[in-house]
A and B are shown apart, each in its own frame.
Chain A
Amino acid sequence: MDTPFPFGFPAPTAFYLVLFVVTLIVHVVLMNYVLAGTAVLAVSGLRGGLARPNPLAGILGDWLPFALSGAITAAIAPLLFVQILYRQPFYTANLLLFNRWMAMLPVLIVGFYLLYVLKAPRFEGRWPRTAAALGAAVCFLFAAWSWTENSLLTLAGDQWAGFYQAERIVHWEPALLPRLGMWIFGALPTMALVCLLQIANSNRGNRNLETRYGPDAVTGTVRLLAWLALAGLAAAVACGLIYAAVGDLAVRSALTGPLGRWYLLLGLVGAAAQFALWWGLVRDPTPRRLAPLTLATLATIAGMTVFREAVRLHALDLQASLQPYFDQHAVAAGRGGFVAFLVFAALNVGLASLCVWIVRTGRRQQVSN
């Protein structure tokens, strides 16, 4: 606990921790897009914004189903590693929440189909679209709440027996809302960035948004995205401050100790850079400085994801020795298959790239060219 993450842990533990964090970051990026994207569409619908086609609704409506598929597919890897890293607390929290936890799956299925409703030409019009967006947003907020609740319950070992006996299905603690708030508001800048990249990309391609919606609409959308990102960042920072204030000893240890401190700093520096860059876009709403903005966003996400892990490691360390966890990780690391994984992972990265290449080069027009 007195060295920056993941140094200072035995090699197998450090190995699985890194894999977990890296794969979780991919999930977080896609999940942020879905969470913030549906929420923005819902609010926009309520304010009449879905009555007419507009660039943001067009992009989000088009890409949200795929992003959700991606978010879920990407989530399977951290779901695997979390079971190796924290088997007993993770399973226990799942079991304690029971039906309430399992409810997330049908809810996500409903959310998924609502995204298709949002896209289907048959459901054209303000109210069907708004209703679908609102329904989907509620479903994904429920999923986010479930994960935050589960994560916090994982760490509340002293409450498990009482929770079970009282047949509770909801876990509450003061840190829950600010922590959830950080995720929800923090999702806005990521969504804004991805949409911005999509706008920039479409301006280059033959599906030019400017010709479809007019240049003013696109500029307006970039400015809106910038405002959303700024508001999201400000609200997430506010939630973070509340979280730090109400947080327990584990949160305070992570704030001050070397394990997570530098990553928190990385996250904050990333957030400050994002702030400056988005502010620049408010003033001049043309998609630019995309690389630094992407770097800053990734720095924030990576920093906060590791910081989140530091809180968990401190909490578990405060409860009991971490040695049994280290022993389990060492046993898991002794199992074969890693080399095969690397080989097939490389092969499949190749196949996935091949799919992109096929789409890029296989268009019918190119034959006639």
Chain B
Amino acid sequence: MDPTQFPYYPINDFGPVMKGLAIGGLGIFHVFLAQFAIGGGLLLCLFQWLAMTGREPAARLFIDGYFKFLVLLSFVTGALTGVGMWFTAIQVSPETIGLMVGEFHWIWAIEWTFFAVEVIAGYAFYRYGHDLRDAARLQLLAIYSLAAWFSLFWINGILAWQLTPGDWAVDGGVWSGFFNPSFWPSLLFRTAASMAIAGLVACVVINAMGSLDYAMRRRLIHRAAWLMAPMVAMPVFGAWFLAVIPDDSRSWATGGSIAMTMFLTAAVGASVLIGGYALVGLLRQRLYINGATATLLVVLAFVASAGGEFVREGVRKPYTVRGALYSNSITPELVATFREVGSVTHDPYPLRDADAYPTDQLRLGRLVYRRQCSVCHSVSGANGLTHLTGSWTTDQMRFNISHLQHTKPFMPPFAGTPAELEALVQWIAWENAARPADWTDSDTSALDARLRELLADAGTRPGDFERHRAEQP
């Protein structure tokens, strides 16, 4: 690629927040609400059927209460957080979302048609449901659930592709990318999670409904608990997912990265607690669950979703689209080019705080940080560079940053000239020294040969996870 054609975008400073946290944070809300909507549809179909077949007369009362809740929460906030995900993705990595839209716009368009049906069926039920015959109610609910689940089906393919692009990497075909190795396990996992969330929220709503007596509540809760039964299969789907993702990604979540491992542990721990309570307590021993406990379990489900989303976002590293785009939006092919021409040479966006740096070299270093590091590292906040490099000498920094992909294989290779490498090192050293007003630039030309040697030794290819593992004590 001609480096002058590289699409430079203005990069915003998220302060002490990691950009990944921003998208992960919103993602949790959105995924939780979307899953609630999907499982909610299935639950309502079940309850409508129970009501109309006379198996559970109180189910009818519940449906209207629950549906209002579903519409108010998931239609409104769910739809807008969905748009929010898109906008946040643009803020974090326009190149990634651009690639996704370019490759999969027809899949997204299909998903949109299902979402439109979900809204139409949902509103039709919300507005006219109470006037309709039972069969008509069930039909509307069935269309609603089908559309909601298919929205998941389509979006799941695109998200799974980011981590496991499968044959797309070879033939570039949309369907090869869509039905990728992690498509089915993540679809099944998310379906089971959706049902569990809907069942748990139902327990909260049932407890909150003053119009139901204790016996009714008890019966309804045991009916709703059936939606949590598929949780039995979640460990299988989870293991399947872990088995098909790349070795390095799996290793980050299972000990290779402390943060990822913690998130995975939180997700698994919370799921085990919910699953245990649901399967043993509610389904086997037919215990009653009060509003407070049900709310606690919903909170735990939220924790599980949060952990899962962070793992999903995190284990892709060093890529946002595996093999095609690094987290910092530089493509693997461009690394060698940027080593020659520089990663910020053609960047049209100046620094906002250029006066804050005493020398040009520091300014260059800050620009390189903005371009190559800022998507995952803040300066001294979350995953802050000053914390991570505080104990390194300048020469260690030269080595570790030139060998970024070997230092930790979840980082991409350094993609800049020797002068950019040195500028970055000096800027970090200056930040580590608490930004002194006086600073003397290092002599890049004297260091040139050494820096070139370091970069050549590191190579331009991504890190070798096996090599890294072998070198660990």
Chain A residues in contact with chain B, CB under 8 A?
66, 69-70, 72-77, 79-81, 83-84, 87-88, 91-92, 94-96, 98, 101-102, 105, 108-109, 112-113, 116, 160-161, 164-167, 324, 328, 331-332, 335-338, 340-341, 344-345, 347-349, 351-352, 354-356, 358-359, 361-364, 366-367
Is A79 within 8 A of B86, CB to CB? yes
Is B132 within 8 A of A362, CB to CB? yes
Chain B residues in contact with chain A, CB under 8 A?
5, 7, 9-12, 72, 75-77, 79-81, 83-84, 86-88, 90-91, 94, 97-98, 101-110, 112-117, 119-121, 123-124, 127-128, 131-133, 135-137, 139-140, 143, 146-147, 173-175, 348-352
Q: How far is the CB of B347 from chain A (nearest CB, A)?
A: 10
Q: How far is the CB of B252 from chain A (nearest CB, A)?
A: 29
Closest to A74 in B: B116
Residue from B98, B115, B135 within 8 A of A76 (CB atoms): B115
Is B114 within 8 A of A164, CB to CB? no
Known A348-B117, A363-B132: A164·B98 in contact at CB below 8 Å: no
Is B80 within 8 A of A344, CB to CB? no
Residue from B9, B77, B80 within 8 A of A92 (CB atoms): B9
A70, B87: Cα distance in complex, Å: 19
Task: Give every chain A residue within 8 A of B98 (Cβ-Cβ).
Answer: 83, 87, 91
Is B115 within 8 A of A88, CB to CB? no
A95, B127: Cα distance in complex, Å: 39
Closest to B91 in A: A95
Is A337 within 8 A of B119, CB to CB? no
Task: Give every chain B residue within 8 A of A359 (Cβ-Cβ).
Answer: 124, 128, 132, 136, 140
Q: How many A-B residue pairs have CB under 8 A?
A: 191
Task: Give every chain B residue within 8 A of A69 (Cβ-Cβ).
Answer: 75-76, 79, 119, 123
Is A355 within 8 A of B117, CB to CB? yes
| 5 A-B pairs whose Cβ atoms sit less than 8 Å apart in the complex | A84-B101, A337-B107, A337-B174, A355-B121, A362-B137
Task: Give every chain B residue within 8 A of A347 (Cβ-Cβ).
Answer: 113
A333, B112: Cα distance in complex, Å: 19
Known A76-B115, A80-B112: A105·B84 in contact at CB below 8 Å: yes
Closest to A367 in B: B133
Task: Give every chain B residue within 8 A of A356 (Cβ-Cβ).
Answer: 120, 124
Task: Give every chain B residue within 8 A of A167 (Cβ-Cβ).
Answer: 352
Task: Give every chain B residue within 8 A of A96 (Cβ-Cβ).
Answer: 10
Closest to A352 in B: B120
Closest to A102 in B: B87
Residue from B11, B80, B140 within 8 A of A112 (CB atoms): B80
Closest to A346 in B: B113
Closest to A337 in B: B106
| Interface core residue of A74, A87, A108, A362 (most chain B CB under 10 Å) | A362
Known A87-B98, A335-B102: A160·B348 in contact at CB below 8 Å: yes
Task: Give every chain A residue within 8 A of B10 (Cβ-Cβ).
Answer: 92, 95-96, 160, 164
A349, B173: Cα distance in complex, Å: 27
A75, B121: Cα distance in complex, Å: 18
Residue from A66, A341, A361 within 8 A of B136 (CB atoms): A361
